[in-house]
Structure 1
Amino acid sequence: PRDILNNVLHYFTDDKLGCIQVRWDHLNRDASLLTKSQAIFLDGHFVIEHTARNRSGRFMHFNGTAGVWRRSTIDDAGGWQHDTLTEDLDLSYRAQLKGWQFAYLPQFFAPAELPPEMIAFKQQAHRWTKGSMQTCIKLLPRIMRSKLPWRIKSEAFFHLTNTVVYPLMVLLTVMMYPAFIYADGPWKNWPFAKLLFSFSLFVLATCSAGTFFVFAQRELFGNKATWKSLVHMPMLMALGIGVCINNTKAVFEAIWSAISRKPTEFVRTQKYGVTGKDRNGFRADGVFTFKRLMVPILEIAFGVYMCCFMFISLYYSYARGSVPFLLIFAGGYLYVGVNSLYVLHRMNQEAQVELAAQTEAPEALSL
């Protein structure tokens, strides 16, 4: 909004305030199922996480856009540093370690574009995940050694280590076969075997996250949004599971970059805008490389793997309660993997056309 600075600058009369963050809004929220799911994800972050951290006096972070910094705060914290992919998160924690305060103003918002295609979404998720782990490795030891109150340290610990959930989700997927073998024991005929083995796992894995996102939508859009957002919960959770392999790769890349001390390339998220498209450097000879295809193929393989156990669960009565849980996993992996291959295929076709046009243009000029 054009009046955003007029609305927020007066908060800097507080000499201790170093940064103001406002809420993100989404220009293309309803463009597709993918953008709708992303919007709900981000709404949960801005409506609940940011609000809770800021109001309770814990560390929050600047999100890279939709905010205003005091210049002296940046200088005092050591300036922008390029050793992580999330330099905004890195600077935010360094500034707060220096004693600067942040303000989150959810009543003001700045509209932005969500990645409308799967490859762009995964690139963004990969960068955020890798950068968060890099920041964790860089700053968490310093935070834990500081004289900050334990409530701030504990929240910073869980915030900076939250990307570990992705390798754990992949491990959970891989361990599905041993879990079925273990469950096929003498206790499977117990009266509550179905509840203990499957339904309880499904409830614990979905209800907490579902409640989080539903309440965020209710806070933004009122009671009517509660029921509308419930419809999107299965897709939301499936998408979160589907990107686990992509984000697990990012976690291990961050760990390796910390060990090897090699610089990390910043891959900008493609922006499509109202007119035209930005392919961000995709070349005809580089779309279908093994590196690009490896993750989508693994995602599809994991989806098929989970489908197998879903059908096995239908056969064994003690495991039938786990079918919804397995369906979300299978659907998530297959949706993300197949969608990724489709987008890569289309990008390859478009890149070939562009390459052919670029080749023909000099020939036409020479004539």
Structure 2
Amino acid sequence: MGDALEGTPYRAVRVLGRGGMGEVVEAEHRALRKRVVVKLVRRALAHDPRFADRLQVEARALAAVSSPHVVAVLDLGQTPSGRPYFVMERLRGTTLGEELERRGPLPVAEAIDLVRQVLAGLAAAHRVGLVHRDVKLDNVFLCAPGAAPGGARVAKVLDFGVAKVLDGAVAEAAPGAEPSPSVPAPAYPTEAGLLVGTPRTASPEQAQCQPVDARADVYAVGLLMYTLVVGHGPFAHVEDALALLRAHVVEPPAPPSRYAAQRIPAALDRAVLKALAKRPEERFESAEAFAAALGRIGAELAEEDGSGGAARMPEAEAGWGPQSRAWFEARPEGSSGAGAGGGVAAGAGEAPVDARLFAGLTLASTVVFSVLAALVLRGMGVW
């Protein structure tokens, strides 16, 4: 390919993706030899002020958000041929969509951790007056373990290309911190009556082309949480775009536990369904509130796993009836507290047996069997 960044401080290395409005390329700073990612307006649209405005709003919006869970913007400029561009940090890893396709549904605790990181990034955006409006698996990047201290995997929210700048938004700053830069409203705002976002993850108010606020992102994250633990969203059975939008507006979603192959805590069912409420005022009031609820659920799961007193039911037994579950989970009095099924090598669910009692019973049964055998042989005249 030709160097789309000729005449800038950056050298294009390879194309990472193309969309209707622009393209994304991996690039290298010519002097520093540092790899970055550059987003440019498509060549054919470079001189349309609407697209240049949209790209600049996205860049300035990202620059205004200070969070380790939102991709960082490093530079903003224009090529000599007139193509506006902005520069982002180069991330290593996969999108959540790719991760789900590779692994299938994620364990509940892991999914909660990743979704709370997404909510932290969105909360930072909401504080400066930005609503993402397109939160989905492919817009969340899961950084490779080596990219974070301690080897932890960090989730970062990407692509604020259709973000909504709320009217009258004022950037907030933590005490003692420098104020965040303000986010300018687009000079060419989205026309009324147009759907903004992706039908599969649109909130009911987006589906009806109504005004949105931060609770539209809460809805989208509810869909994200659902999909991560189940493997698909609540409306996976709907294919037609118009029918899908109608489902968001009127069809009650089933709880994740109905379709999941793993145990879903009742509290998580309730939290996800609250995030997916049709009316914004019935959802969590903010990304922080949703994250706090998930944090409590995650802490309860960690306590269960650590104490062993309420061990998780194996996935294969998730569909058992109440009596079978009660038998599986039962423990004899005076046991050490290890959950049922803890000793897999000895047989899941078996109660411990006293070794001396077992030996005595074995000896007694051997003596009885010997006496009976002797009597039988004597009766037959053999002995």
TM-score when normalising by structure 2: 0.24
TM-score when normalising by structure 1: 0.25
Using CA pairs under 8 Å that are at least 6 residues apart, name the structure with larger relative contact order, 1 or 2: 1
Structure richer in strand, relative to its length:
2
Structure richer in helix, relative to its length:
1
